[in-house]
Structures are given as structure tokens and as C-alpha cells.
């Protein structure tokens, strides 16, 4: 049906639109000068950088261009040069996730990182981390305001490891130049306090937007034990959740709303995922395989409820249930 053919027109128009938006944000930043309205520009940049990250993600899956090396060059430029993250780090991490989504010991996306995604990790937490884990569902979105720092730090840290990394110095150079221009402009044109506020707002919006786009896809779906083997089709469908909404959800989430289709056909361009959804839903019905899809708001509710349920494993085993009941009252 031609659904795996490249759609360069779509990505060309999307990239052009984002470049115009980025140019507008830069122009607004220069014209506003010493004004607290700059925080609106910071928020806009957080959104724009996330949208560029979506295209880098799609390039890593060979969704954008016909050539594999061409996709890598595009993805590396957008990730390192525009967003400020290591493309090679993302490729390594995300490839492992796609091969074994939600599988314990195999999927890095469910490894402990402040948030516990499995009961085993929740039980290991002590002290402050245990306190956070108990309420991690409610704290999930507030914690995402720091996720931007975490993504930048972890990706840049990976470039200093001894393991072989393709394009290490290219990425390091692009990231260094990107941050030099970014921080140089902000701290040169804005007062010190406003400059720090600008960076904080931009990073908070970026972190929340990234986390809120990727979290609904697998969090709260079945976790596969390390010793369980599943066929490719079942593994990808049963661990993935779609978000309804059509074109607006696809624009908002960079195509991640079609998570089932994306995991079955990772190289399929974003514009074709909606048509693939119709075919795959019918196929799942014929095979009696559950196909999960819900609204964006309900998906967040599922994520929060799941994380809180996992977080209960961090309770003190000597807590008295009756005392806790009266504390809640």
C-alpha cells in the first residue's frame, strides 16, 4: 500500500515551519530585551526544541530520508546541534527499548531513575527516595520539570565514556557550540536573575513536554519478566498504548500517539501511521489480540495510578495500617 515510502514533503514542510518558529522566537528574544515577557519566549523555545527532538527521533528510525547515513546525519545535527543532546546516546538507549519494550533487565526506559517503574525497584528505595517513591505518581509531572537537565546531562556524560561512540567528537563539538551560543546570548542580553529564570523555564517546558509525550506510550502497560520470551508481534502490541485524537494528537506528540504502529513498523513515516492503525486494529481483532487506545487525559491518569501502585512497595514494612488510616483522615 506504499505506507513505508518516505514522505520528504511532510518533513520538509514541518522543518520549514519549525525554522520559522525558531526564527520568530530569536527575533522576539532580541526585540524584547530586558523584559519578563522573555519567559514566554523561553516557554516557546522549550516547545520548539521538543518538536525538533521528535524529528531527530524519527530520523533515528529512518522515517525521514531514504538513506540510512542521511538520516543519521540529519538526526545527529538536530539532536546535538539544535536540541543539545547526544544522538548516539539516544540511538543506543532507544534501540534497546524498541527491541524489548517493558521487559525487565532489557528495556532502559523502565530502569530506576528517581522514579521506580517496577515493584522490585520500589522496594529497594530508602530515605528520601523512598518518600518520593511512595507518592511518585502525584510527583511524576512536577519531577518532569527536571527531566530536561537529566536528558542533557546523561547524554553528554555518555560522550566521556571509554566505549566506542560513532561521531563522538562531531557531537561533542556541535553540543559545545550550541550551548556556547545559547548561554552566551542569554547571559549577555539579559540581567543575571532573568537569565537564570529564562533557562529554568525553557528547560522545565522541554522536560515536561518530552516526558508527557513519551510516558503515555508504555507506562502502565504489562511488564514482561526477564525470563519470559514472546513473539515480536505480541510483545510490541501488548506493551504499547495508543492515544486517540488523530491529526492534532500526532502533531502534539510527534506521531508517538500511534505507538503500536510505530513499534511494529519503526521506519514508517508519521503521515502513514493513521492508515496503518486501521489495518493493524482489524488484524488484532481477527487474532483476538488486545489493542490498547485511550485519550491523552485518561492515559495520564493510568500512568499516575500505576506509578502510585508501584510506589506502595516503598512503604515501611513496620508501618501500622490503622495508624496510616487515621493519618489520612
- Tell me the per-residue pLDDT of 230-260, one tens digit each, with 9 for 90 and over: 999 999 999 999 999 999 999 999 999 999 9
Nearest to 5 by CA among 274, 268, 278: 268
Q: Phi/psi of residue 37, each to 5°?
A: -65, -10
> How many angstroms separate the CA atoms of 170 and 322, rounded?
59
Block residue for cell numbers 571509554: 162
pLDDT of residue 238: 96
Q: Which helix (H) or strand (E) holds 89?
A: helix 87-99
pTM for this model (two decimals)? 0.92
Mean pLDDT on 189-212: 97
pLDDT of residue 314: 75
> How many angstroms separate the CA atoms of 146 and 94, rounded?
20
pLDDT band, very low/low/confident/very high, at 325 (cuts 50, 70, 90): low
Task: Provide the 3-class DSSP secondary structure of residue 35.
Answer: coil
pLDDT of residue 322: 53
Mean pLDDT on 207-235: 94
Question: Do residues 253 and 274 lie in contact, with contact meaning Cβ atoms separated by under 8 Å?
Answer: no
pLDDT of residue 243: 97
pLDDT band, very low/low/confident/very high, at 317 (cuts 50, 70, 90): low
pLDDT of residue 315: 74
> How many angstroms separate the CA atoms of 78 and 112, rounded?
28
Q: How many distinct helices (H) and strands (E) make up the chain?
A: 16, 2
> Tens of pLDDT along 270-298?
999 999 999 999 999 999 999 999 999 99
> Tens of pLDDT along 145-178?
999 999 999 999 999 998 888 889 999 999 999 9
> How many angstroms separate the CA atoms of 50 and 135, rounded?
27
pLDDT of residue 328: 47
Query: What are the distances in angstroms from CA 115 to CA 10, 74, 130?
Result: 36, 32, 10
Tell me how far the alpha carbon of residue 312 is from its chain's centroid: 25
Amino acid at each position: 500500500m506504499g505506507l513505508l515510502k518516505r514522505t520528504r514533503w511532510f518533513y520538509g514542510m514541518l522543518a520549514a515551519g519549525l525554522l520559522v518558529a525558531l526564527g520568530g522566537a530569536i527575533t522576539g528574544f532580541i526585540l524584547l530585551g530586558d523584559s519578563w515577557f522573555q519567559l514566554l519566549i523561553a516557554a516557546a523555545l522549550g516547545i520548539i526544541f521538543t518538536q525538533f527532538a521528535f524529528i531527530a527521533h524519527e530520523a533515528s528510525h529512518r522515517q525521514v530520508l531514504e538513506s540510512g547515513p542521511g538520516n543519521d546525519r540529519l538526526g545527529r545535527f538536530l539532536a546535538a546541534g539544535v536540541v543539545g543532546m547526544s544522538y548516539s546516546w539516544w540511538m543506543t538507549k532507544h534501540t534497546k527499548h524498541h527491541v524489548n519494550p517493558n521487559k525487565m533487565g532489557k528495556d532502559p526506559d523502565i530502569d530506576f531513575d528517581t522514579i521506580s517503574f517496577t515493584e522490585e525497584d520500589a522496594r529497594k528505595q530508602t530515605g528520601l527516595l523512598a518518600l518520593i517513591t511512595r507518592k511518585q505518581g502525584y510527583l511524576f509531572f512536577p519531577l518532569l520539570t527536571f527531566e530536561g537537565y537529566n536528558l542533557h546531562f546523561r547524554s553528554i556524560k555518555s560522550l566521556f565514556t571509554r566505549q566506542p561512540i560513532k561521531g563522538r567528537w562531531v557531537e561533542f563539538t556541535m553540543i559545545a557550540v550550541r550551548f556556547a551560543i545559547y548561554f552566551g546570548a542569554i547571559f549577555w542580553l539579559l540581567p543575571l536573575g532573568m537569565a537564570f529564570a529564562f533557562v529554568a523555564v525553557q528547560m522545565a517546558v522541554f522536560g515536561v513536554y518530552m516526558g508527557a509525550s513519551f510516558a503515555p506510550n508504555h507506562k502502565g502497560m504489562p511488564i514482561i519478566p526477564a525470563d519470559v520470551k514472546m513473539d515480536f508481534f505480541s510483545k510490541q502490541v501488548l506493551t504499547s498504548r495508543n492515544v486517540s485524537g488523530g491529526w492534532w494528537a500526532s502533531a502534539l506528540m510527534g506521531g508517538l500517539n500511534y505507538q503500536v504502529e510505530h513499534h511494529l513498523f519503526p521506519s514508517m513515516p508519521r503521515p502513514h501511521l493513521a492508515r496503518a492503525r486501521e489495518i493493524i486494529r482489524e488484524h488484532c481483532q481477527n487474532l483476538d489480540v488486545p489493542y490498547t487506545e485511550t485519550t491523552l487525559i485518561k492515559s495520564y491518569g493510568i500512568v499516575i495510578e500505576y506509578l502510585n501502585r508501584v510506589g506502595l512497595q516503598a512503604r515501611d514494612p513496620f508501618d501500622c495500617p490503622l495508624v496510616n488510616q487515621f493519618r489520612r483522615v
